[in-house]
Structure 1
Amino acid sequence: MTRPFRFGLVTPVLTDPATWRDRVHRIADLGYSTVLMPDTPLWQPAPAPTLAVAAALETDLRVGTWVSAVPFRPAWALAWEAHSLTVLTDGRFELGLGTGRPGIEGELQGYGMPVPTAGERIGLMRDTVTQLRELDGADHHTPVVMAVRGPKAVALADEAADIVTFASRGTDTREDLARLARTFRDRDVELGLHVSVVGDGIAAFMASAAETDPAAMRAADSLAQLPDDPGAAIEELHRRRDELGFSYIVTGADFAETMAPVVAALSGR
């Protein structure tokens, strides 16, 4: 099944709150479907209350985490937050789950928190979904996004996710992600693609990430980059959906205006 395109923007609070609220309104006006928040303690306000504000500002926008790092919270607490946001937004919340970005071990140690093993993190993802489904019951269904890469995480996403994205590296080639995407082509899941580079621009929240070099990513034919020419980007996104199934495109809010013609041409189609 070919899904229609939709577009989300990771929109961290990097300005004063009033400017951020204006940005949320602008994102809605440009036709983006979803405002997303990264899970970065001490760098910005916590995702749940921030997303509640965004959802109240624009009642047609979806909101979600991109993505919640499961080591930061007990599974029951994250499930409760997610269910609460689903109820309060009339079903417009999407829970993104991941095992944690590179370097999270040092953060956890700095906060005096335990550092779970890779296997324990997969278990936390599973437990969160299980408890979320219990809280949602028959009246709600919170869509779960899973950011995965390794075989155990891929297997869990194949079993439990509504939306799947891949924890890609800047040096990944098109074929690297194609192999992962093929795992889900026969399943009724939405495939999301995180684009951290548009032209020579790097999303603000990715600026310090290793391997995020626009020229190197273009040379590798990385799917984490797009051309900044709207026509070329539209053609490339059609190719990615036709060949690999990617229909949900997520990038940084700094690219909201650059990507606006692409969103206008493709969103909902």
Structure 2
Amino acid sequence: MTRAFRFGVVAPITSELPAWRDRVRRIADLGYSTLLMPDVPTWQPALAPTLATAAALTDLRVGSWVYAAALREPLSMAWEAHSLSVLTDGRFEMGIGAGRPGIEVELGLPAVSPAERRTRMRETVEQLRTFDGSELHTPVVMAVAGPKSQALALEVADAVTFVLGPDNDRAETTKMVRGFSTSRDIELSQHIAAVGDGVAPFMAPPDLDTAALRTADSLVILPSDPAAAAEEIERRREEIGFSYFVIGADFADTLAPVVAKLAGQ
């Protein structure tokens, strides 16, 4: 089945609050489907109240991009996700991943092994389904890399986003995504770290070499020209299956013509 395109925006608070609120409204007006926030304790206001605020400002869906299992216990993470679903009338999507290596140690927490991170992810989704019950289904978008996290996502996720490095070229990415096979209908998402020569805050290191990405034919970058970006996005759906594209808020206006052309198609 060919899924319709949808587009999300990661919109961390990098300005005064009135300007951020205006940005959220602008993103909604441009036709994006989802407003997303990173899970970065001590760097940003807490994820849950920020998303609840965004949901109250517009009719956008909201989501975590993504909860870091290395930092959170399954029970509290699941309860927070369920609570956001209730408070937003079902407009919340729980993005969840292992968390980047060492993030917990940087925050003064005990180190968490990759196996324990995956265990927490599984337990979180299981607990979330218990909280949701039969009346509510909170969509789970799982960030995956290796075969073990992919296998977990095949069991429990509604959508997946593949964690790609700068060295993953088009051929490698295509092979990886095509190898992710399932009899269930799972949405395939793409995390776009750069557009043109710009790099999105909180979505990649600021010193990411965009010229090297283009040379490597990496899929974590899109052209800044809307016509070229739309053509590339259509190619990625046709050849690989990606239909949900997540960009940084700094590029929302640049790619607005793409959203106007492709969203829902």
Alignment TM-score, normalising by the size of structure 1: 0.95
Runs of 4+ that moved beyond 6 A = none
Matches within 5 A, 1:72-111: 72-108=71-107, 110=108
Deviations 1:126-170 (A, max 9, x none): 000000000000000000010000111000001110010011111
Structure 1 residue 207, shift from structure 2 partner:
5.5
> Which of 190, 194, 203 lines up with 1:193 in the alignment?
190
Structure 1 residue 185, shift from structure 2 partner:
4.9
155 and 268 in structure 1: CA distance in 2 versus 1, 3 angstrom threshold? same
Task: For 1:26 and 1:102, locate their aligned partners in 2 and report how far apart those are by CA, in whole Å.
Answer: 34
Q: Match of 2:26?
A: 26
217 and 151 in structure 1: CA distance in 2 versus 1, 3 angstrom threshold? same
Structure 1 residue 225, shift from structure 2 partner:
0.5
Q: Match of 1:8?
A: 8
The SS at the match of 1:96 is strand
What is the number of residues matched between the two proteins?
264
Q: Does the Cα contact within 8 Å between 1:199 and 1:228 map onto a contact in 2? A: yes
Structure 2: state its 5+ residue gaps.
none
Determine if the alignment matches structure 1 residue 236 to structure 2 residue 232. Answer: yes
CA RMSD of aligned residues (A): 1.3
Matches within 5 A, 1:145-156: 145-156=141-152
Q: Match of 1:251?
A: 247
> Which of 179, 182, 204 lines up with 1:183 in the alignment?
179
- State the one-letter code of the partner of 1:130: E
Deviations 1:150-209 (A, max 9, x none): 111000001110010011111211122212211345440110000111111111224535
Structure 1: state its 5+ residue gaps.
none
Q: Does the Cα contact within 8 Å between 2:82 and 2:128 map onto a contact in 1? A: yes
Q: Does the Cα contact within 8 Å between 1:185 and 1:245 map onto a contact in 2? A: no
Q: Does the Cα contact within 8 Å between 2:70 and 2:104 map onto a contact in 1? A: no
Determine if the alignment matches structure 1 residue 46 to structure 2 residue 43. Answer: no
Q: Does the Cα contact within 8 Å between 1:10 and 1:38 map onto a contact in 2? A: yes
Q: Match of 1:127?
A: 123
Q: Percent identity?
A: 61
The SS at the match of 1:71 is coil
Alignment TM-score, normalising by the size of structure 2: 0.96
Q: Match of 1:204?
A: 201
- State the one-letter code of the partner of 1:258: T
106 and 53 in structure 1: CA distance in 2 versus 1, 3 angstrom threshold? same
The SS at the match of 1:77 is helix
For structure 1, which segment, 173-182 or 15-24, has the greater mean C-alpha deviation from structure 2 after superposition? 173-182
Structure 1 residue 213, shift from structure 2 partner:
1.1
Deviations 1:8-67 (A, max 9, x none): 000001111111111000000000000000011111101110000000100x20000000
Q: Match of 2:136?
A: 140
- State the one-letter code of the partner of 2:122: R
126 and 207 in structure 1: CA distance in 2 versus 1, 3 angstrom threshold? closer
209 and 167 in structure 1: CA distance in 2 versus 1, 3 angstrom threshold? farther
- State the one-letter code of the partner of 2:144: V
- State the one-letter code of the partner of 1:168: L
115 and 209 in structure 1: CA distance in 2 versus 1, 3 angstrom threshold? farther
Task: For 2:254 and 2:206, locate their aligned partners in 1 and report how far apart those are by CA, in whole Å.
Answer: 22
Q: Match of 2:63?
A: 64
- State the one-letter code of the partner of 2:227: G
